Amino acid sequence: MQIPSDNVPYPIFVYVGLLFWQFFSGALLETSNVFIIDRGIITKIYFPRIILPISSVIIKCVDFAIASVILLGMMIYYGYTPHLTGILIMPVLLAITFIAAVGGGLFFATLNVKYRDVRYVLSFFIQLLLFLTPVIYPTSITAKYSFILVLNPLVGVIQNARAGLLGTAPINLSLVAISFFTSLVFLFISLIYFRKFEQYFADII
Amino acid sequence: MNIENSIIIKNIGKKYNIAYQLGGYVALREVFANIFLNPFKFVKYKVKKIINLETKEEFWALRNINLEINKGDIVGIIGASGAGKSTLLKILTGITPPTEGEVILHGKVASLLEVGTGFHPEFTGRENIFLNGVILGMTKKEIINKFDKIIEFAGIDKFIDTPVKYYSSGMYVRLAFSVAVNMEPDILLIDEVLAVGDVEFKKKCLDKLEEVAKKEGRTILFVSHNIEIIQKLCKKTILMKSGKILLYGNTEEVINHYLEQNNEGFINDTNKTQ
């Protein structure tokens, strides 16, 4: 069965989605463990604990940068030159993914302090999320469920990345705004949860 | 009384729940499994928790602690193990919140609760000075200014560029202490870290602590099991037992009381065996 890919060669189509997905899922998985791994300094020194998950996601940005170089190679190989708007929108999309990753990572990291098996459950959860994100398929085939899928900030990010870099469709700014909004909501919820439990970390860890 | 740089502790208490029901490792999967297998038990537990009827085993590590420490004082804290000395320091540092009461600290706090915390084993001593200094709250510029003083005080010039995983525990203490003491905090909290140093280094530390307190007017709280050091360094001492303050006063008095208390038990036992 051939999965439709919006008239774009399938490899590069998937890779644009994979770029952001790898960043997000890798950051989520890595950050969920961040308070347990550094339990030493958390119990002995006072510092704002929020630094740990943020630095964990920033490390994944380096991976993103390296993966982008590969994307550049692929675009040259397949002969795609993006418009200026396509290039300009990339940092915006990266910022949205960053916010979503910090929000999700912070939430699971805090949950992991109380329930230590969260990071194992998370790997399965991420597998599930992969199928809910248009990495291996285009958003066009999910038109029926689009109003739910849009809650996933990565949907807007990946669709617009493809639109900007590969020209599969015009850039949908309202979708970008929705993704930005949902990732901010996730971050906000995670921050509230984190703030509530942060003070007891030293006792439970 | 000089309000600046003093520590005011009002009615501090710290309670721990001994969660024997759940065990040490709580798994989310188990929680969900319990909800499905025993829904009634779960509902009962939740309701009890809300109405506050839950049978919890509580342990008050600290209760009714009231203290006022003036600027420039070096105060020692002694007491049996489990008296709550380290818990008190942890609350003062801000690592764990008190269950009741409040703490007012005037000035910057640096604490040495464990030897070599914040040290990254792969970094060299030099790099760890920066790391530790920044974690303790110094700016990079400050550290660069004090760099030479820190290395000189630590006395490990030859090994400053080897990764700290190769250091002995004595070298660890020297480096950690050197960074903390040169930090110029307003309040310094030290928790039994000098146990590992050798005699020469202990003397150097004591001299430096005295200088820091007297000349620069910083407040120092010093927890130790070593009576000698407390006698030499601290003018006032706090004696703690089972989470409460037994005595706070002149070092001589408090130490005599402490030793008498322990000797009493000893003498009674020997009488019994006879």
Please indicate, yes or no, if residue A177 is contained in any of the structural domains.
yes
Per-residue pLDDT of chain A (205 residues; tens, 9 = 90+): 577 777 788 888 899 999 999 999 999 999 998 988 878 778 888 888 898 999 999 999 999 999 999 999 988 898 888 878 888 889 999 999 999 999 999 999 999 888 888 888 898 999 999 988 888 888 877 777 777 888 888 988 998 888 888 877 888 888 899 999 999 999 999 999 999 988 888 777 7
Please indicate, yes or no, if residue A189 is contained in any of the structural domains.
yes
Same domain, B46 and B86: no
**Amino acid letter for position B140:** K
A47-54: long-range contacts (C-beta < 8 A, 24 or more apart)? A47/B135, A49/A194, A49/A198, A49/A201, A50/A106, A50/A194, A50/A198, A52/A109, A53/A102, A53/A105, A53/A106, A53/A109, A54/A102
Same domain, B177 and B121: yes
Specify whether the backbone of B76 is left (phi greater than 0), alpha (psi in -120 to 50) or beta: beta
pLDDT in tens, B165-220: 898 888 888 888 888 878 778 888 888 877 767 888 888 888 888 887 777 778 88
ipTM of the predicted structure?
0.70
| pLDDT value at B20 more than 90 | no
The CATH number given to whatever domain includes residue B138 is 3.40.50.300
The residues, ordered by sequence, that sit 6+ positions from B71 with a Cβ below 8 Å of its Cβ are: B2, B4, B5, B6, B106, B217, B218, B219
Same domain, B125 and B23: no
Same domain, B110 and B39: no
B80 CB burial (10 A radius; 0-12, 13-18, 19+): middle
Measured between its terminal Cα atoms, the distance across chain B in Å is 53
- Across the interface, whether the CB atoms of B95 and A114 are under 8 A apart is answered no
Same domain, B32 and B65: no
A88/B contact by beta carbon, under 8 A = no
Same domain, B80 and B33: no
- Rounded distance between C-alpha atoms, residue B220 and residue B72, angstroms: 7
- Which of B28, B93, B97 minimises the CB distance to A115? B28
SS3 state of residue B209: helix
Touching B: A residues 34-73, CB under 8 Å = 40-47
- List the one residue out of B238, B211, B207, B208 whose CA is nearest residue B222: B238
**B-chain residues near A202 (CB < 8 A):** 90, 95-96
Instruction: Please give the interface size between A and B, counted as residue pairs whose CB atoms are below 8 Å apart.
Output: 49
State both tokens at B249: 């006063």
- Average pLDDT score over residue span B24-38: 72
**Total tally of structural domains belonging to chain A:** 1
What is the span of the domain harbouring residue B127?
Answer: 60-269
Please indicate, yes or no, if residue A197 is contained in any of the structural domains.
yes
Partner residues linked to B222 by β-bridges: B76, B190
Least Cα separation, residue B55 to chain A (angstroms): 20
Same domain, B36 and B161: no
**B-chain residues near A117 (CB < 8 A):** 27-29
- Which of B27, B29, B118 minimises the CB distance to A45? B118
A78/B contact by beta carbon, under 8 A = no
Please indicate, yes or no, if residue B11 is contained in any of the structural domains.
no
Among B10, B37, B56, identify where a domain stops.
B56
Please indicate, yes or no, if residue A2 is contained in any of the structural domains.
no
Please indicate, yes or no, if residue A5 is contained in any of the structural domains.
no
The residues, ordered by sequence, that sit 6+ positions from A136 with a Cβ below 8 Å of its Cβ are: A3, A14, A17, A130
- Which of B29, B31, B135 minimises the CB distance to A45? B135
A1/B contact by beta carbon, under 8 A = no
Same domain, B64 and B117: yes
Query: What DSSP element (H or E) covers B12?
Result: strand B7-17
What is the span of the domain harbouring residue A191?
Answer: 10-204
Please indicate, yes or no, if residue A152 is contained in any of the structural domains.
yes
**Total tally of structural domains belonging to chain B:** 2
- Which of B27, B93, B97 minimises the CB distance to A116? B27
- Which of B26, B28, B95 minimises the CB distance to A121? B28
Q: What pLDDT was estimated at residue A137?
A: 84
pLDDT in tens, B69-104: 888 888 999 888 888 888 888 888 888 888 888 898
Same domain, B138 and B204: yes
**B-chain residues near A45 (CB < 8 A):** 93, 95, 111, 113, 117-118, 135-136
Kindly provide the residue ranges of all beta strands, DSSP E only, lying in chain A, ordered along the sequence. Answer: none
